[in-house]
């Protein structure tokens, strides 16, 4: 398959190198367009007020991989790849493997997820891959699963260009409990700003904090999806969340979309009675 890869950890990160080389050795046509430095937590930011530069990168990846280092954000990288660097559209856009989890509400800030989402916006099925540890350097199980998932999608393509958000536990392959499909959980943070003073007497702040994950839930069965009965919302609520499942060493796959409309909220708003008349003289 023709694959476009990006990330938010930068062109020299071990995660992107492991992913690109694994897929290239498997025979896929791999193009890499990544930020020239770390761009974590940039969300879906775009560069609009200065030029974007891209330089060819050699001797980092498998010889068959074409690679560019881009001065912009992760979303810039995918936009540039699709609009200027690739001769033909890719079959898939892949982002990662991120060094750290992208679970629950992390996806709203994640440059990794945003890079993949840019592909979905352009009508190309996309996957974001994350290793749920900042300390582990063992990306190969996640890369091997990425290869398996790409081969599956080659045989059974997605019916629509959605984004699959994949999180892989930082354990050896034999310790992975399986693969489960999940809904997006909640992973809020207790944030605080550490106030400091620089050598010139100017005050500055460091954002710090810690994750507050889902409250503990009853044990759930991850081996298979619940049978689809009742309304879609009821069925969805039976699924484990990505935050819950990763605790049990499952690889999680969560389908995401860029349409953030709250369907339940629209249903509530139908009951509102609002009248506004701003005609002059009324």
d(CA 197, CA 207): 14
| CATH code matching the domain that covers 2-183+233-266, chosen among 3.40.1350.10, 3.40.50.1860, 2.40.10.220, 3.40.1210.10 | 3.40.1210.10
pTM to 2 decimals? 0.86
- The residue among 97, 73, 87 whose CA lies nearest residue 14 is 97
Instruction: Provide the mean pLDDT of the chain.
Output: 87
Residue 246 CB burial class (10 angstroms; 0-12, 13-18, ≥19): buried
The residues near 13 (Cβ < 8 Å, ≥ 6 apart) are 7, 34, 38, 99
Contact 178, 223 (CB under 8 A): yes
* Domain boundaries defined on the chain: 2-183+233-266
pLDDT tens by residue, 122-177 = 999 999 999 999 999 999 999 999 999 999 999 999 888 899 999 999 999 999 99
pLDDT tens by residue, 101-132 = 999 888 998 999 999 999 999 999 999 999 99
At 235 the pLDDT is: 47
Determine how β-strand 187-197 pairs with β-strand 203-213: antiparallel
d(CA 87, CA 103): 34
pLDDT tens by residue, 222-238 = 444 455 555 554 545 55
Residue 104 — left, alpha, or beta (φ > 0 → left; ψ -120 to 50 → alpha)? Answer: left
Sequential DSSP letters for 140-191: HHHHHHHHHHHHHHHHS--SS--EEEEEE-SS-GGG--EEEE-B---EEEEE
At 50 the pLDDT is: 92
What DSSP character marks residue 241?
Answer: B
Residue that wins the pLDDT comparison between 112 and 59: 112
Q: What would you measure as the largest C-alpha separation in the chain, in angstroms?
A: 75
The values of phi and psi at residue 26, to 5°, are -75, -5
């Amino acid at each position: 398959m023709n694959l476009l890869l990006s990330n938010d950890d930068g062109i020299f990160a071990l995660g992107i190198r492991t992913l690109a080389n694994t897929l290239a050795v498997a025979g896929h046509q791999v193009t890499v367009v990544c930020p020239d430095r770390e761009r974590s937590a940039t969300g879906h930011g775009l560069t609009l007020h200065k030029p974007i530069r891209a330089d060819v990168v050699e001797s980092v990846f498998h010889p068959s991989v074409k690679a560019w280092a881009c001065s912009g954000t992760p979303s810039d990288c995918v936009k540039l790849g699709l609009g200027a660097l690739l001769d033909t559209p890719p079959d898939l856009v892949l982002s990662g493997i991120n060094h750290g989890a992208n679970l629950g509400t992390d996806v709203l800030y994640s440059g990794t997820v945003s890079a993949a989402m840019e592909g979905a916006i352009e009508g190309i099925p996309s996957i974001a891959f994350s290793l749920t540890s900042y300390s582990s350097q063992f990306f190969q199980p996640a890369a091997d699963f990425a290869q398996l998932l790409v081969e599956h999608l080659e045989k059974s393509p997605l019916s629509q260009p959605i984004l699959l958000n994949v999180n892989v536990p930082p354990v050896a392959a034999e310790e992975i409990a399986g693969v489960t499909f999940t809904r997006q959980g909640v992973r809020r943070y207790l944030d605080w700003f550490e106030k400091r003073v620089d050598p010139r007497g100017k005050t500055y702040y460091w954002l710090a904090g810690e994750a507050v994950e889902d409250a503990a839930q009853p044990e759930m069965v991850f081996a298979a999806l619940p049978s689809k009965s009742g309304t879609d919302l009821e069925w969805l609520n039976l699924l484990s969340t990505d935050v819950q499942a990763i605790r049990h060493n499952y690889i999680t796959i969560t389908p995401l979309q860029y349409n953030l409309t709250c369907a339940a909220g629209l249903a509530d708003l139908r009951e509102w009675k609002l009248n506004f008349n701003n005609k002059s003289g009324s």
